Chains A and B, each alone.
Chain A
Amino acid sequence: MFDHGQPSYAEVNKDILSTMLETGPKYWMLLGMTMSVAGICFFMPWIYQLFVGVGAAGMNHNAVWGSYLSNFIFWIGLSHSGTLLSAVLHITNSPWRKSIYRSAEAMTLFSLMTATLFVMVHLGRVWFVHWSFPIPNQMGLWPNFRSPLMFDVMAITTYLTASSIFIYMGSVPDFAAVRDASTGLRRRLYTIFSFGWRGTAREWHTLGWAYTFFAVFVIPLAVSVHSIVSWDFALSAVPGFHHTIFAPYFVCGAIYSGTAGIVTVMYCLRKFLGFERYIGQVHLDSLGKLLITLSLIWSYINILELFTTWFGGTSFELEALSFRLTGFYAPLYWEMLIFCAFVPLLMLFKKIRWSWNKMLLISILINIGMLTERFIIVATSQPRKFLPDSFGYYVPSWIEISISVGSFAIFVTLFLIFIKWVPAISIYEVKETLKPLRRNV
Chain B
Amino acid sequence: MAILGSFAFEEDFLGAARKLKSSGFDKLSLLSPLPLEEAQEIMGLEKSPVRHFSLAGAIFGAIAGFAMAVATSLVFILPTGGRAIITVPPFLIITYEMTILFGVLFTLLGFHFVSGLPAWRDKPYLTSAGIDRFVVIVEGAAADQVARAEAIIRDAGADEIRHVEEDQ
Binding site for B on A (CB under 8 A): 8-10, 13, 134, 140-146, 150-151, 154-155, 157-158, 161-162, 165-166, 169, 172-173, 176-177, 180, 191-192, 195-210, 213-214, 217-218, 220-221, 224, 228, 428-429, 431-432, 436-439
Q: In the assembly, what is the distance between CA of A36 and CA of B114, in Å?
A: 45
B164 in the interface (beta carbon within 8 A):
no
| Closest chain B residue, CB of each to CB of A216 | B54
Q: Which residues of A contact B33 (CB under 8 A)?
A: 9, 199, 428, 431
The answer on a CB contact under 8 Å between A204 and B40 is yes
The answer on a CB contact under 8 Å between B120 and A151 is no
The answer on a CB contact under 8 Å between A154 and B72 is no
Q: In the assembly, what is the distance between CA of A213 and CA of B104, in Å?
A: 8
The answer on a CB contact under 8 Å between A169 and B111 is yes
The answer on a CB contact under 8 Å between B104 and A180 is no
The answer on a CB contact under 8 Å between A196 and B104 is no
A64 to chain B, nearest CB (A): 20
Q: In the assembly, what is the distance between CA of A195 and CA of B108, in Å?
A: 13
The answer on a CB contact under 8 Å between B72 and A145 is yes
Q: In the assembly, what is the distance between CA of A143 and CA of B119, in Å?
A: 41
The answer on a CB contact under 8 Å between B111 and A206 is yes
B60 in the interface (beta carbon within 8 A):
no
A213-B45 contact given A9-B132, A142-B72, CB 8 Å threshold: no
Query: Do most interface residues of chain B lie in helix, strand or loop, or is the interface mixed?
Result: helix
Q: In the assembly, what is the distance between CA of A146 and CA of B69, in Å?
A: 9
Other-chain contact of B31, A155, A200, A217, A439 (Cβ < 8 Å): A200
Other-chain contact of B50, A146, A166, A198, A210 (Cβ < 8 Å): A210
A430 to chain B, nearest CB (A): 9
Q: Name the interface residues of B21-56: CB closer than 8 Å to any CB of A.
A: 29-36, 39-40, 42-43, 45, 47-48, 50-51, 54
The answer on a CB contact under 8 Å between A214 and B75 is no
The answer on a CB contact under 8 Å between A195 and B118 is yes
The answer on a CB contact under 8 Å between A143 and B72 is yes
Q: Which residues of B contact A173 (CB under 8 A)?
A: 130
6 contacts across the A-B interface (CB closer than 8 A): A158-B97, A192-B120, A206-B114, A208-B48, A210-B50, A432-B35
Q: In the assembly, what is the distance between CA of A154 and CA of B90, in Å?
A: 12
The answer on a CB contact under 8 Å between B72 and A134 is yes
B25 to chain A, nearest CB (A): 14
The answer on a CB contact under 8 Å between B132 and A8 is yes
The interface on chain B, measured as residues whose beta carbon lies within 8 A of the other chain's beta carbons, has a size of 67
The answer on a CB contact under 8 Å between B10 and A199 is no
Q: Which residues of B contact A141 (CB under 8 A)?
A: 76
Give a binary string over B47-88; 1 marks a CB under 8 Å from any A CB, 0 the rest: 110110010001000000000110011011010100100010
Q: Which residues of B contact A431 (CB under 8 A)?
A: 33-34
The answer on a CB contact under 8 Å between A145 and B90 is yes
Give a binary string over B6-28; 1 marks a CB under 8 Å from any A CB, 0 the rest: 00111110000000000000000
The answer on a CB contact under 8 Å between B90 and A10 is no
Q: Which residues of B contact A438 (CB under 8 A)?
A: 9, 11
Q: In the assembly, what is the distance between CA of A197 and CA of B58, in Å?
A: 27
Q: Which residues of B contact A180 (CB under 8 A)?
A: 127, 130-131
Among A144, A155, A203, A228, chain B packs the most CB atoms within 10 A around the CB of: A203
Q: What are the nearest 3 A-B pairs in CB distance?
A: A9-B132, A142-B72, A209-B48
The answer on a CB contact under 8 Å between B40 and A228 is no
The answer on a CB contact under 8 Å between B104 and A161 is yes
Other-chain contact of A201, B42, B72, B94 (Cβ < 8 Å): B42
Q: Which residues of A contact B120 (CB under 8 A)?
A: 191-192, 195-196
Other-chain contact of B132, A10, A195, A439 (Cβ < 8 Å): A10
| Closest chain A residue, CB of each to CB of B125 | A198
The answer on a CB contact under 8 Å between A169 and B108 is yes
Other-chain contact of B115, A134, A206, A228 (Cβ < 8 Å): A206
A154-B94 contact given A162-B101, A209-B50, CB 8 Å threshold: yes
For the complex with contacts A9-B33, A165-B108, A210-B50, 16 further pairs of A-B residues with Cβ separation under 8 Å are: A13-B130, A134-B68, A140-B76, A144-B78, A154-B94, A154-B97, A169-B111, A195-B117, A196-B118, A198-B29, A200-B30, A205-B43, A224-B100, A428-B35, A429-B34, A432-B34
The answer on a CB contact under 8 Å between A177 and B130 is yes
B5 in the interface (beta carbon within 8 A):
no
The answer on a CB contact under 8 Å between B73 and A140 is no
